[in-house]
């Protein structure tokens, strides 16, 4: 009786107003920290709902679809794309506790007759190797994000399951999806076209022959950062424009190609070298192992490339052959190779580059 009386008084007087506003912070997510100190990202209800609406404009979910969610919900890709988006479109959602169970997740797909799968390259490659081809018999859509899709993974899913992986692109700060390939508008090697309602611009980068640094603005762009140097102070993006820190190229039909992270470029002898391109070249020669390229300071050339790899048989000759096969120049050749039983990973499956740099420093020392 006391509870009812309290609720009646609160409703009548407005003393306890629990109604939220669209621009209130809905979630606080942290960036992966794969390149440095993680940042707190405040996303509003409007940010999340807008991004779901933007993505839904390109994906034709229907009432018969089912989505099995194994991605962590503390990550923006897992929360918005794989959980909120299908849920708000009336798609049945099944939760599985870990994406790392490479045998169990395909079995769960078979048992639930799920039709939609979201994953990273690492997770999709693991499922592709372990699954029975019939585990994904009901699958309609396979979406990949959070890290570049390797050709091995793309070919594995095409050959073994007859499914095309639709690659998207985004950032925690944009709730997260910015661009997406679809069955009707698809171009291999790209991350698709920008979603509706997203304004973008490219700023030129010295030493970069094509493309530029991507800035975006739209209803899905975050409220702001919460950073360790100013606890509790929300730092919004200037005039609503968010600097992605990514170097991209946009073709005449609007397809976006990610060249790499600005931080993932090294300037060696005056030339910009993409660390991601070197990693991709090495991965093509040793697909079953993990590889990371870092660029510590060098007093003579400014920076030098170091390859950290889990392949015990990796040699300079194999790396050089891979560099040449990829059409990269001699400056892309790592100066040294560090071999380890495993490379440091984040909970999302991404390589922890600051930890790799420390590993390289310890081995070099």
3-state secondary structure of 174: helix
Question: Considering the entire predicted model, what is its pTM?
Answer: 0.76
Q: What's the angle, vertex CA 136, arms to CA 134 and CA 140, rounded to 5?
A: 135
Is the pLDDT at 100 greater than 90, yes or no? no
pLDDT in tens, 333-362: 888 889 898 888 876 667 888 888 888 888
The reported pLDDT for the residue numbered 205 is 78
Q: Which residues contact 222 (CB under 8 A, 6 or more apart)?
A: 41, 42, 43, 44, 47, 172, 173, 174, 175, 236, 237, 242
Alpha helices in 14-167 (DSSP H): 45-56, 76, 85-88, 104-112, 121-130, 151-161
pLDDT in tens, 180-237: 999 899 998 899 999 999 999 998 877 677 888 999 999 999 999 988 788 888 999 9
3-state secondary structure of 318: helix
To the question of domain 269-364 being in CATH 3.30.300.30, the answer is yes
Alpha helices in the chain (DSSP H): 2-13, 45-56, 76, 85-88, 104-112, 121-130, 151-161, 275-285, 316-325, 353-364
Cα–Cα distance measured from residue 153 to residue 242, given in angstroms and rounded to the nearest whole number: 31
Beta strands 256-261 and 66-69: pairing type?
unpaired
Per the prediction, the chain carries an average pLDDT of: 86
Cα–Cα distance measured from residue 315 to residue 280, given in angstroms and rounded to the nearest whole number: 16
pLDDT in tens, 63-85: 889 999 999 888 888 899 889 99
Task: Give 3-state DSSP helix, strand, coil % of the chain, rounded to 5.
Answer: 30, 25, 40
3-state secondary structure of 245: strand
The reported pLDDT for the residue numbered 358 is 87
Is the pLDDT at 13 greater than 70, yes or no? no
Q: Do the beta carbons of residue 264 and residue 278 sit within 8 Å?
A: no
The reported pLDDT for the residue numbered 5 is 65
Give the HSE-up count for residue 36: Cα atoms under 13 Å, Cβ half-sphere.
Answer: 8
Cα–Cα distance measured from residue 348 to residue 326, given in angstroms and rounded to the nearest whole number: 28
Q: Do the beta carbons of residue 66 and residue 91 sit within 8 Å?
A: yes
Question: What are the extents of the domains in the chain?
Answer: 25-261, 269-364
Radius of gyration of the chain measured on its C-alpha atoms: 22
Q: Any idea which fold 25-261 has?
A: Rossmann fold (3.40.50)
Partnered with residue 202 across adjacent β-strands are 214
């Amino acid at each position: 009786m006391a509870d009812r009386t309290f609720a009646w008084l609160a409703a009548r007087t407005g003393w306890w107003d629990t109604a939220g506003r669209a621009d209130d912070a809905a979630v606080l997510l942290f960036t992966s920290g794969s390149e440095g100190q993680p940042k707190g990202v405040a996303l509003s209800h409007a940010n999340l709902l807008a991004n779901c609406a933007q993505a839904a404009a390109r994906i034709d979910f229907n009432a018969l679809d089912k989505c099995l969610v194994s991605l962590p919900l503390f990550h923006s890709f897992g929360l918005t794309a794989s959980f909120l988006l299908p849920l708000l479109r009336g798609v049945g959602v099944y939760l599985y506790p870990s994406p790392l169970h490479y045998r169990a997740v395909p079995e769960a797909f078979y048992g639930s007759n799920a039709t939609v799968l979201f994953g990273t390259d690492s997770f999709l490659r693991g499922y592709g190797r372990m699954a029975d081809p019939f585990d994904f018999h009901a699958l309609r859509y396979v979406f990949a994000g959070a890290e570049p899709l390797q050709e091995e993974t793309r070919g594995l899913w095409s050959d073994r399951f007859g499914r095309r992986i639709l690659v998207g692109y985004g950032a925690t700060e944009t709730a997260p999806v910015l661009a997406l390939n679809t069955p009707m508008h698809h171009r291999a090697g790209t991350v698709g076209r920008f979603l509706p309602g997203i304004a973008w611009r490219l700023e030129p980068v010295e030493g970069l022959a094509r493309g530029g640094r991507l800035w975006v603005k739209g209803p899905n762009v975050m409220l702001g950062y919460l950073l360790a140097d100013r606890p509790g102070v929300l730092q919004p993006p200037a005039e609503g424009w968010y600097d992605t820190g990514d170097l991209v190229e946009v073709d005449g039909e609007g397809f976006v190609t990610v060249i790499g992270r600005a931080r993932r470029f090294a300037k060696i002898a005056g030339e910009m070298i993409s660390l991601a391109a070197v990693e991709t070249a090495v991965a093509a020669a040793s697909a079953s192992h993990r590889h990371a390229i870092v660029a510590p300071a060098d007093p003579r050339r400014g920076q030098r490339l170091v390859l950290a790899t889990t392949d015990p048989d990796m040699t300079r000759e194999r790396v050089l052959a891979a560099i040449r096969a990829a059409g990269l120049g001699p400056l892309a050749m790592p100066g040294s190779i560090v071999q380890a039983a495993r490379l440091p990973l984040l909970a999302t499956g991404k390589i922890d580059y600051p930890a790799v740099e420390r590993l390289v420093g310890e081995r070099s020392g």
